[in-house]
Structure formats: C-alpha cells, structure tokens
Amino acid sequence: MSIGKGLLVLLILANISFGQNYNWIVPNTTYLKLYLADDGIYRMAKTDFTQAGINTSNIDPRTVKVFYKGAQVPIYFEGEQDGSFDDNDFFDFYGTRNYGGLTNTYYDSLGTNVVQYVTDEYFNQYSDTSVYWVGWGGANGLRFTLSTFTSQTPFTQGFSNERVHIEVDSVYSLGETLNPNSDFRYFNTERVTGEGWFWKNLTPNNGNNIFTSFLSPDLYSSPQTCTLKLFAFPNSEDSFTQNEHRINI
C-alpha cells in the first residue's frame, strides 16, 4: 500500500447541475479530489489532509466518505473509534483506473442504429484516470465489515487463478466502410463494425505472425481449462475467394 498515492486538489463545489447522478454532492462544501490511474489499495493519512489545507480538528473520522461516479465506496478507517482525527489515523480504500466498459458497436450503414456487438473495453477512449472524491460530516460513512474468521489450515491451496490481459494498441481502423463520399460511418461518432485499436495489420507484406509470452506462477499441478478471448476483423473482402481470411491460434 502507498501513502498519498494520487493527486490531491482542494475544491469548493458551487451550485452546478451535472449530467450524472449528483445527489451525493452538498453544495458549497469542501471535498478532496483524487486522481487515480492504477488499480490498487490507496491510503490517506491525516498529513494528506493538512497538506491540502484542510483543518482536521473539526473532522469526525467516522463521517469520512469516499465517492466514485456518484456512489459511496467502503473504506477501512484506522483509529476512528474515538471520533478524533489523530496524527496516526488513516483510511484505506480500493480504487480503480478508468476502464472503457461496455461499448456498443453499430452495424447498419443506413442510420438505423443496429447494434452489431458489444465489447467490454479494457481502455477508455478518453482517459485512463478515475476521479474519487473524499468528503466528511453528516452521517457516518460506509465501512468494510471486519471479519473475525480464523482458518485452522491457512494457505491450503498451492495455486491461484489469474487473468492475463495482453493488448497493444498500435493501429486504429475505421472499421467497415465503403465509399468515403457516401458512407456516413466515416463521420459517425459512434463505433461501427470493426472500428477500434488493433495490435497489428496482418498481411503477407508486413508479417503475418504475432508472438507473445507471459508468466503465470503458482499454477495447478494438473491440466485445467482456460479461456482465450481475442478480437480480429478483416480489412478486405472478396466474395469470390473461399477461406480468404484465416487465423490460427
């Protein structure tokens, strides 16, 4: 865990209307704004507040809250029980970077907005940075539930499951387009079939192979089933050629 990971900015919120859910905002109230670009557990201590210009003497740590995209996220606050924000007090929370999420890709070139497929984008098209807000006052904040469970046989498993994401965004394709003078998809702000970032354009001229490797320690001793997901799209079409495009994995 790291202390003070991310940028802290002091912000005074005014009476502004937002397009998203803003019911958590108390107008004319001071919040701390955090920019996070990596997944992980983040820690904020009393010094992080004071260095941002916050007087912690009036803060009841039990009322400290962390918000992300309009929803409160649970935190663990060490030393909040006495209601005083002391020098050794801190809180931890789990934060994530900004993922792309579920993204529609449209098919019809006639403007009927037919969804061809939906992808769960690992990268956001605009920013990899998430914004978290820290507030205090009012009701007590959301906290993690402390477990009292004790295992009699700890670490019984000598293996773990792992998800490996390998993506190189080198080539951007406009996807399925016809005549640039008549196909509206050249100018459409939505994603159309095949549009997006790709690792490599596979042609006989620039090499038609991609090799990659990764490490995955603590695997199970016997063979297990795994799942492989990839996305590829042809950049040409010849209706008279059988098996024009083939991918071997």
Q: Are residues 131 and 173 in the same domain?
A: no
Predicted local distance difference test score (pLDDT) of residue 15: 43
Q: Are residues 131 and 205 in the same domain?
A: no
Would residue 112 count as lying in a domain? no
Listed as ranges, residues in the chain with pLDDT below 50 are: 1-19
Predicted local distance difference test score (pLDDT) of residue 188: 75
DSSP structural state of residue 51? H
Range of the domain at 75: 2-97+127-135
Q: Are residues 86 and 169 in the same domain?
A: no
Predicted local distance difference test score (pLDDT) of residue 109: 60
How many distinct structural domains can be found in the chain? 2
| Distance separating alpha carbons of residues 151 and 18, to the nearest angstrom | 47
Would residue 115 count as lying in a domain? no
Predicted local distance difference test score (pLDDT) of residue 12: 43
Would residue 104 count as lying in a domain? no
Please, what is the Cα angle at 70 between 67 and 76, to 5 degrees?
20
Predicted local distance difference test score (pLDDT) of residue 205: 74
Would residue 187 count as lying in a domain? no
- Give the ranges where 156-198 is alpha helix by DSSP (H): none
| Distance separating alpha carbons of residues 111 and 185, to the nearest angstrom | 9
Predicted local distance difference test score (pLDDT) of residue 21: 67
Q: How long, in residues, is the chain?
A: 249
Would residue 80 count as lying in a domain? yes
| Distance separating alpha carbons of residues 233 and 45, to the nearest angstrom | 49
Would residue 114 count as lying in a domain? no
